[in-house]
Structure 1
Amino acid sequence: MKRILHRWFIEAMSFMALGLFGSLIIGLIINTAASYIPGLGSLSVIGDAAQSVTGAAIGAAIAYGLKSPPLVIFSAIAVSQFAYDLGGAASSYIVSLIVIELARLYASKTKLDIIITPLVTLIIGYFSASLIGEAVGGLMTGLGEIIIFSVSQQPFVMGILVSVIFGVTLTAPLSSAALALMLDLSGLAAGAAVIGCCCHMVGLSATSYRDNGISGVISIGIGTSMLQVPNILKNPFIIVPPVLSSAIIAPIMTVFFPMENNAAGAGMGTSGFVGQIMAIETMGLSMNTIILILVFHIILPLIITLIFYKLFRHFGLIKDQDQLISLGK
């Protein structure tokens, strides 16, 4: 059971996030650049095309990540796109898992594999998507709407909860990006989620500078804070400063300086600066937006996380080499 849960909720979601980045997210980034940078308007065609195959990218990514045979991967592309059109990212994820796991029973088992595998996979995928696609999409969107409404009504408390949950999810071996897109987060709730992610990425990159130098700062701050997971398992106190930072900064933003974002940016933080690009996409490019991004996505996460980190070091809860990561040297 542990292996199955790891396969479905860690491996599959992690590769789903890669599929999302290679289609929907990069498409949104291209469209944002096309909207605000003179001379790049024609690139919006590329951005629209990338976004239009999001479902297919999810299916291919999950099937590839779970080491499916080639015919299953190629069939999952069509199945996942159909599911996405019915129920969005969550539907693509679940239907892709269904066909990929069932395909293990028949793929590469007969001499007619080139016909049997795609035929059976497409049939299973079509009926699975038809049966549950809209329901799954509606359920996840409904949960997202509840979260969005809750944050708008209780910005202080819900701002803390959303920020902390998404920050921890980002650093854990899960996919906050996939979660945000499945929930279709938007508005103030997405803005709070971004702050939680930023606190972990900016905060952990800063607190690990002593152990990893500038290469570690870049790898964690613009890449992923998941690089610290092995160290967090050894010393859980490492993750506490960014958690406390997100719990402090998010409600300040949600109550006094409302910032909005979208589902593509909500779970990304500063990874590839997607959270910041999507903030501009959502709020518009202005000096006020730039200042808010600098303060709430960079400066405050950096300062407040470092303050808690210094306290933890003072009391011996975090020591030198506790955050040392391997960068493939």
Structure 2
Amino acid sequence: MKNLLHRWFIEAMSFMALGLFGTLIIGLIINTVADYVPPLAGLSVIGNTAQSLTGAAIGVAIAYGLKSPPLVIFSVLAVSQHAYDLGGAAASYIVSLIIIETARLYQKKTKLDIIVTPFLTLIIGMLLAGLIGEAVGGVMTGLGDFIVFSTEQRPFVMGILVSVVFGITLTAPLSSAALALMLDLSGIAAGAAVIGCCCHMVGLAAMSYRDNGVSGVISIGVGTSMLQVPNVLRNPFVIAPPVIASAIIAPIMTVFFPMENNAAGAGMGTSGFVGQIMAIETMGLTTSTVVLIAVFHIVLPLIVTLIFYKLFSFYGFIKQGDQIISLGK
């Protein structure tokens, strides 16, 4: 069971996030550039095309990540796109995962595999998408709407909760990007999620400077804070400063300086600066937006995390060498 949970919720979601980044997220970034740089307006065709293939990319990415044979990968493409059209990213993920696991019962079992595998994958997958696609999408969207509504009604408490949960999810071997898109998170709830992710990325990058140097700061701060997972498992106190920072900074934003974001940026933080680009996409490119991004996505996560890091270091909970990461050298 432990292996299955790892396969379904870590491996599958991680590869789903890659599929999302390769289509929906990069498509949104391209469209944002096209919107604000008139000479590059023609790029919107590329961005729109990439976004239109999001469902297909999710299925292919998951099938590839779970080491499915080629015939399953290529057939899941159509199934996943149909599920996405019916119920969004969550439906695409669930339907793709079920049909990929079901295909293990018949793939490469007959001499007519080139016909049997795609035929059964398409028929079963399409029926499954039709049966549960809309329901899955409705449940996840409803949950996302509830989170958004709750954050608007109780910005202080929900700002803390959303920020902390998404920050931890980002650093854990899960996909905060996939979670945000499955929930279709938006508004200030998405803004709070971004701050939680930024605290982990910017904060952990700054904390580990003495251990990893500039290359480590860039890898964590613009790449992924998941690089610290082995160190967090060895010393859980490593993750405490960014968690505390996210709990402090997010409610300041949600109560006094409301910032909005969208589902594509909510779970990304400063990874590829997607969270910041999507903030501009959502709120518009203004001086106020730029200042808020600088303060709440960079400056405050950096300062507050380092303050608590110094305290934890002073009392011996975190020591030099606790945050060394491997960059494949």
CA positional deviation for 1:109: 1.2
Other structure's SS at 1:8 match? helix
CA positional deviation for 1:39: 0.6
1:204 aligned residue = 204
Other structure's SS at 2:255 match? helix
1:272 aligned residue = 272
2:290 aligned residue = 290
Unaligned runs of 5+ in 1: none
| 1:130 paired to 2:150 | no
1:139 aligned residue = 139
Distance 1:247 1:40 in 2: 39
Other structure's SS at 1:39 match? helix
The percentage of counterpart residues that share the same residue type is 81
* Equivalent residue letter for 1:315: Y
Other structure's SS at 2:106 match? coil
Distance 2:152 2:253 in 1: 12
Taking structure 1 as the reference length, the TM-score comes to 1.00
* Equivalent residue letter for 2:271: S
Q: Which runs of 4+ in 1 moved over 2 A?
A: none
CA positional deviation for 1:301: 0.1
Distance 2:42 2:127 in 1: 39
CA positional deviation for 1:38: 2.8
| 1:214 paired to 2:251 | no
2:55 aligned residue = 55
CA positional deviation for 1:183: 0.2
2:121 aligned residue = 121
Distance 2:248 2:112 in 1: 60
2:234 aligned residue = 234
* Equivalent residue letter for 1:326: S
Other structure's SS at 1:268 match? coil
1:87 aligned residue = 87
Other structure's SS at 2:316 match? coil
Distance 1:328 1:6 in 2: 24
CA positional deviation for 1:71: 0.3
CA positional deviation for 1:176: 0.2
Distance 1:244 1:266 in 2: 19
Distance 1:155 1:170 in 2: 21
Distance 1:124 1:16 in 2: 21
| 1:164 paired to 2:164 | yes
CA positional deviation for 1:37: 1.4
Unaligned runs of 5+ in 2: none
* Equivalent residue letter for 1:281: E
CA positional deviation for 1:108: 1.1
Q: How big is the alpha-carbon RMSD for the aligned residues of Structure 1 and Structure 2? A: 0.4
* Equivalent residue letter for 1:183: L
Distance 2:111 2:262 in 1: 48
* Equivalent residue letter for 2:173: P
